[in-house]
Amino acid sequence: MGGNKKYYALPITEVLRLLKASTDGLSEKEAEERLKKFGLNELVEEKESIFLIFLRQFNNPLVYILLAAIGITLYMGDYIDAGIIGGIVLINGLLGFFQEVKARSSLEALKKLTETKTKIIRDGKEKIVAVSQIVPGDIVILAEGDVIPADIRLIESVGLTVDEAILTGESIPSEKDATVTLGENTPIYKRSNILFKGTIVVRGKGKGIVYATGRNTEIGKIAEKTKEKSPESPLNRALKAFSLKWMIILFFILTSIFVLGLVQERDLYKLFLLIISELVSAVPEGLPLVVTFVLVIGAMTLAKRKTLVKHLPSVETLGSATFIVSDKTGTITEGKLKVENFKTTDKDLLFLASALCNDAFDGKGDPLEVALLKWLEKEGFNWKEARNKYERIWEHPFDTKLRLMATINKVNEKNYVLVKGALESLLKLSDDDPEKFLKWHDEMAEKGLRVIAFGYSEMVELPEDISEIKIKLIGLIGFIDPPKKGVKEAVETARRAGIRLLMVTGDNIKTAIAVGKMVSIYDDKDVALHGTDLEKYSDQELYQILKKTSVVARATPEDKYRIVKVLQKNKEIVAVTGDGVNDVPALKVADLGVAMGSGTEAAKEVAKMIITDNNLAVIVDAVKYGRIVAQNIRKVIYYLLSCSFGEIILLTSAFLLKLPLPLYPIQILWINVVTEGVQDKMFSFNKEEKNLMTEKPKRPEKTFFDKKQLFDTIYTAFIMGGINLLLFIYLLEITTYERAVGITFTSLIANQWFNGFQAIKGEPFFKNVYRSFVINPYMYLGVGIGLMLQLSATYIFPDWLHTVPLTLNEWKLVLTTSLLLFFAIEIKKWIEYFLKKVR
């Protein structure tokens, strides 16, 4: 039992015997035993061990520099300093370690919510189980859009074609046939009676028996070759660009200081410690960790809002989206069709075709086909009796290229070909005068109805090619798919937010426009394209047209894919929504693929985010929260950089004025623990400050590092560094050097706390004092923790950090510098506020 036998070369009876199974499926007891024997049906990711995660916290150039500093201090005989620096490096490493482990656990919990499921037979009954629980011998039932859960030998198949590109590289879907028995040397790409794990059912349906799971599957054997890295998100690209620029600036600053120190013949040991101090101050080594923390909190919050995140950076990507390319049915509309109108030349024959050229049963199946059966019941037509009476002897499942479905049923001893599909498709098979049918079609489409046509033909032999038969048109049926509640308001919100919504649908262009108008996606100034129009334009021409387009009708999966690629080529950030197998190509290449919770497993497999409530309103709400996350990251970056740069200005200014160092390196490391190590994490809990959905989308590099951000950072840094420099100079005149350093050290920490109070809000603190306290209460909790740590350093172990116990008057100095910084920022904010009002 397993993946080594050549099941494709054996008849199905022999396969069942070897796997000790039957078409009624395994018993639950047997399935449990096999699960213990074969393990979970999953390609186990090679997870980094806890120990390696811990070691990795110390695997960066900054830590190497600090280790060198420890070596130098040990050589110089400063054992206490060396021990404290080592201890703080360890504390920083432990903080990073615990936060990363917690982040990984949170993501694993969210991934469990998105686990794919499949339909199987056990104990003779159909049931839905998680793919990971499937074992060899299970009978699996598959339909269009399903991802094959394991390696399977087919037992039954009807019009089954499978996309095996992931395994064979063939872009053309493979036709499958359960009835054939193949030769022992048949290559993988010709095994037409086998379904492989990870491939996708493009059309048709089938049933088969699992013979290999997990690592024993074909895809499991080559798992390393088929792994794809997640595409780099706009956020990661922006952070990389920032890091590079920031490091170049630091290199020039520190090189200049070092050269100047050599020219001034400064003590080499102290000069080296100054360089290390400035480097540790300047590089926000905690930034990636803090950003991850913000994103994890964001992903957990989105999960409560019916949005499950599979790829962490997509939380921020959603907030940066400039285009949402959405399908119509099930996202913008209810997806629950009902027959609204019909036109026919033969009512009885139309009823019969609606019942027989239809795969739905008892409320299950394609929504359009379910709606047909409900309509027939309402009209008093017994569709079950018709199906029992008129046997189906052949079928052609719905074809996405031809846009039709056909069956042959034996009706009164004659073979009737019954066809349903798009009117344009059926007209190609018909010699009827199209004028009447086109008129009926347009009347229905202009009312926003989804229209399908029916036709029939008598046939003696089974057709070889459905596109070559000739039919007579019977009539048209119009369905209404009403817009979902809240979609219109969501569309208007997205418009105000500067996000362009593009509805890409397989529907007729008139139906698509009518629905677009209902939900405010389309107005008379917009362009509506037909899918076939896209071929006329070059990529650049198409981009210019897409900027004015809100509806693309009769679109194929290739059309949707090209639209996404063209937009991305022109630096748009594109979110794509979809639920069907036809959406997979576009979902996969989008900056953010958003699958519907009720969609196909194929769509959910490639998406980076899953919306459990299939509603555009939920997506727009998620965009809003994505922008809140982006703003919180912006505030974290401002806070870390302004504090770090403030330290640089203090140290550099003292050096240029030939003053002794105002801070020891271990004090700067302590600052990272007391402020950056605690307070920066609190930005994750910031609430929305203003209505971000009235602003145009910004590229991440502009969101995080625009001119205002640069000005605010430099302004705060110069005030912070300048105030503490003046304090240090004043203290050197009235007290000892050690006491001056201790007071300046505490002052700088308190300054950074007050900077944090200002950083949580863009508007002036005193414009709405109540809001300033409730927008993020955790910030004040963070300062409380920092205060307790600093009091410990000041009064319990002052010698460890070269500090001194402060008197009440000295605490007043600390409070004075902090308030000066706080009000300097407050005054700047009020000036900006009034200037904005004047404009």
Q: Which two tokens stand for residue 619?
A: 């997506």
3-state secondary structure of 433: coil
Separation CA 139–CA 126 (nearest Å): 9
Q: Name the DSSP letter for residue 676.
A: I
Separation CA 597–CA 85 (nearest Å): 50
Q: Which two tokens stand for residue 58?
A: 């110390």
H helix or E strand, kind and range, residue 414? strand 414-421
Q: Which two tokens stand for residue 723?
A: 């105030």
Q: Which two tokens stand for residue 558?
A: 């290739």
Q: Which two tokens stand for residue 506?
A: 């397989």
| Single-letter amino acid, residue 591 | D
Let me know: does 828 contact 715? Beta carbons within 8 Å: yes
Q: Name the DSSP letter for residue 7.
A: G
3-state secondary structure of 508: coil
Which of 113, 115, 99, 60 has its CA nearest to residue 295? 99
Separation CA 336–CA 482 (nearest Å): 8
Separation CA 148–CA 275 (nearest Å): 58
Separation CA 149–CA 131 (nearest Å): 6
Strand segments (E) across 116-217: 117-122, 125-130, 139-143, 151-163, 174-175, 194-195, 200-212
Separation CA 646–CA 837 (nearest Å): 30
Return the number of other C-beta atoms located less than 10 Å from residue 771's C-beta.
13
In the numeric block, the tokens 């096999």 are attached to 34
Return the number of other C-beta atoms located less than 10 Å from residue 521's C-beta.
28
Let me know: does 782 contact 681? Beta carbons within 8 Å: yes
Separation CA 636–CA 755 (nearest Å): 11
Separation CA 672–CA 281 (nearest Å): 8
Going by their DSSP bridges, the two strands 414-421 and 125-130 should be labelled as unpaired
Separation CA 542–CA 520 (nearest Å): 23
Q: Name the DSSP letter for residue 9.
A: G
Burial class (CB in 10 A: 0-12, 13-18, 19+), 276: buried
Q: Is 680 noted as a catalytic residue in this protein?
A: no
3-class secondary structure per residue, 344-410 = ECCHHHHHHHHHHCCCCECCECCHHHHHHHHHHHHCCCCHHHHHHHCCEEEEEEEECCCCEEEEEEE
Catalytically annotated residue among 327, 507, 579, 712: 327
Burial letters for 433-459: b for 16+ Cβ neighbours within 10 Å, e otherwise?
eeeebeebbebbbeebbbbbbbbbbeb
Separation CA 429–CA 468 (nearest Å): 7
Q: Name the DSSP letter for residue 21.
A: -
| Single-letter amino acid, residue 264 | Q
Which of 190, 197, 222 has its CA nearest to residue 140? 197
Separation CA 490–CA 481 (nearest Å): 18
- Give the N- to C-terminal CA distance of the chain in Å, as an integer: 77
Let me know: does 148 contact 195? Beta carbons within 8 Å: yes
Which of 264, 19, 41, 249 has its CA nearest to residue 135? 41
Residues with catalytic function: 327
